Amino acid sequence: MLSIDLQAALNKQIKIEGDSSQIYLEMASWAEIQGFEGISAFMYAQSDEERQHMLRLVKYINQRGGKAEIPAITQPELDHSSFKTLFKQLFEHEVFVSQSINDLVHIALTERDYATHNFLQWYVAEQIEEEATARTILDKINLIGDDKGGLYLFDNDIKNFIQTDAGASTI
């Protein structure tokens, strides 16, 4: 059975994962309108993945005898002034999510809830991958600079983004 504090913290994480899905969805829609097919496809897929992260938490809370709370959808507030700015916001958000997961792990260990600690290890590993992916994309955009041809190639490259079962990703 989950403690009241841990259940509340996990429910907070449900909201964070849902908000993450919305952020990626907002970016996908914006990229699609701009004509960046590869970036939008990548972002739509990431939005779906974040929703799955949220559902995984919902099911875990309920399976442990708690009550998952389904949060309201929050419209993302993003700066769309440039691709670099957009992806910088994405990277910063992934760092925020990682810190939130780390806080959850700390609570689980403090409460000696080793089942939840074990469950959260998947999220810890996932966040390492998410941050690395966001950092790699941002690094590539920094390399491209204002080169329209480079941005076109990047858009094509991101279509071929590969995620293996081992958690490694490449662009």
pTM of the model: 0.90
pLDDT digits over 78-110, tens only?
999 888 899 999 999 999 999 999 999 999 999
The CATH number linked to 122 is 1.20.1260.10
CB 73 within 8 A of CB 18: yes
Number of domains in the chain: 1
53 a known binding residue?
A: yes
130 a known binding residue?
A: no
Mind giving me the DSSP string for 84-152? HHHHHHHHHHHHHHHHHHHHHHHHHHHTT-HHHHHHHHHHHHHHHHHHHHHHHHHHHHHHHTT-HHHHH
The first and second tokens of residue 161, run together, are 């983004």
37 a known binding residue?
A: no
CB 104 within 8 A of CB 120: yes
pLDDT digits over 44-59, tens only?
999 999 999 999 999 9
The first and second tokens of residue 164, run together, are 């293996």
pLDDT digits over 8-52, tens only?
999 999 999 999 999 999 999 999 999 999 999 999 999 999 999
94 a known binding residue?
A: yes
80 a known binding residue?
A: no
Range of the domain at 30: 4-170
